[in-house]
Amino acid sequence: MSSKGGAAVLGLLLAACLSGCAVGPDFAAPDAPLGAGYAVGKPANVTQSAAIAGGGAQRLVPGRDIPGEWWRLFRSKQIAALVAEAVNNHPNIAAAEAALRQARETTEADVGSFFPSATLTQSVARTQMTTAQFGGLGQSSSSSGSQSSSSSGPTAIIYTLHNSNAAVSFTPDVFGKTARTVEGDFAASEYQRYQLEATYLALTANVVTAAIADSSYASQIKVTRVLIADYQKQLDILQKRFELGAVSAADVVSEKALVAQAQATLPPLEKARAQTRNQLMAYLGRFPNDDKGEAIDIEHLHLPRDLPLSLPSNLVRQRPDVLSAEAQLHQASANVGVATANMLPQLTLTGNGGSQASNFSQLFLPQTSVYNLATQLSGQAFDAGRLFHQREAKLAALEQTEAQYRATVISAFENVANALQAIKHDAETLRAQVAAEKAAAESLDISQAQYTAGSTTYTTVLNAEQTLLSARLNRVQAQAARFSDTAALMQALGGGWWNRIDETPASLPKPTDLISTLPIAAAIRAEAEERSRAR
């Protein structure tokens, strides 16, 4: 058979394999849940405002797309730099890319099952035999390529044998076992792809919220120290007035207790900030002693006025965790097909061809050729129900994955709903805290004036000072919550990963020329290369 004829036959076999009947369920991506929403009724799309940094009103814009680098909405170069460093350095990103490449390499490996396997053998052997092995005695004449010796006993025969052989084995994918296996592999690759996006999203959101928390603690520490300094000044005044006999010792002691109480609030705040800094360093891929002091000032952050809000029907196509669950559902469906195909007969075609000759020059002559062709059809005759129950196990796994997918979708809507509620109510909280701080400052001024005039006790002044400290700390926390709520909404909506390229060449499979001719392998590789070029 000519090489062109062999290639044609091989092509026909591959076409038959790829177009064969694949048993098992054909996967279809689940539709978005009907009637799903983020709240009962129509939520207000504009929040309240307060006259302070981070207190601006925010407007929800349904249907607006999520920017790929959503953290730039805060207009902070420091936040952008921190996120870039985390993405470049954190080992979780590298691990996710390696896992994605591993899954893709597994897919490419299993794609090779669509092709016949061929083994080439070339050997040469020098052999000495004796006629005694055949019960022969006496003299034997030598033939071409052999030597013999005459004696009254057995004769030695020495010869050289050249052997060239090709063995080909092919299992047509009659019932789609290989197709379903590769389908499951591709679904596993998709799962790892969306796990990479989930890792990227979680890391970027954690960096932003940690930087905001760090800024909040720094502001709370600053506010506390300022108030402690004010209390200390008040204590110094009281001490002098006590020495002059104008105030009682009880008033001085009460102020000292207030100063001590305020000072006692500093260590917990400093501890919380130090731990937050350590956490931020870990997100950046640094060790705690590599802290260079980078920090943001919450007073200089920009609170986005317009917030994108994905339509409920689009959320399931945007959340990496939902898409990961969908990929697992796809893989479970393909596994049912594999288990079904295992119950059916398997056809195997084998062929061996080559040439044998005593001289290398004669190796490829027509009369020295040898070949063997065979067809085998095998199937399980009795296995005590093993294959049946293996398929039932895969069906149960499919049902489990379907339930897990629905749970993931419900959690996704819950996350968005919680973020929207937080944006609404934390805006109201900040407005109330600003008003409470203003009222507490005015109350302190009035009580101090009344105490100086002798119309009230110093206990009133102490209560006013404590109220002001609490009000200012609560206001700083409420400011930080507004920014954190925006980050939480961006994360809940999927983070806009579809508007950026997160994969690097580390996630791509190594190319091979042979299987690139196969449609499914070419499609996988084309997608990966397109992402690489886009980056």
Average pLDDT of span 34-63: 88
CA distances from 180 to 21, 22, 183, 395, 529 (A): 11, 7, 5, 14, 24
Residue 145, pLDDT > 50, answer no
* Rounded-to-integer distance, Cα 502 and Cα 260, Å: 51
Q: For residue 325, what pLDDT is reported?
A: 98
Q: For residue 305, what pLDDT is reported?
A: 95
Q: How confident is the model at residue 351 (pLDDT cuts 50, 70, 90)?
A: confident
Of 134-143, 188-197, 254-263, the poorest mean pLDDT is in 134-143
Q: For residue 163, what pLDDT is reported?
A: 86
The DSSP annotation for 36-83 comes to --SSSS---SB----SSTT----EEEETPPPPTTGGGGG--HHHHHHH
* Rounded-to-integer distance, Cα 338 and Cα 180, Å: 6
For the CA atoms of 511, 512, 513, 519, the dihedral, rounded to the nearest 10 degrees, stands at: -80
Q: For residue 141, what pLDDT is reported?
A: 45
Q: How confident is the model at residue 527 (pLDDT cuts 50, 70, 90)?
A: low
Which comes out higher in pLDDT, residue 443 or 53? 443
* Rounded-to-integer distance, Cα 336 and Cα 395, Å: 6
* Rounded-to-integer distance, Cα 330 and Cα 324, Å: 10
Q: For residue 138, what pLDDT is reported?
A: 46
Which two tokens mark 248? Answer: 């009682």
353 burial via Cβ count (<10 Å: 0-12, 13-18, 19+): middle
Tens of pLDDT along 73-93?
A: 999 999 999 999 999 999 999
H or E stretch at 440: helix 386-453
Q: For residue 1, what pLDDT is reported?
A: 40
Residue 137, pLDDT > 50, answer no
Q: For residue 133, what pLDDT is reported?
A: 67
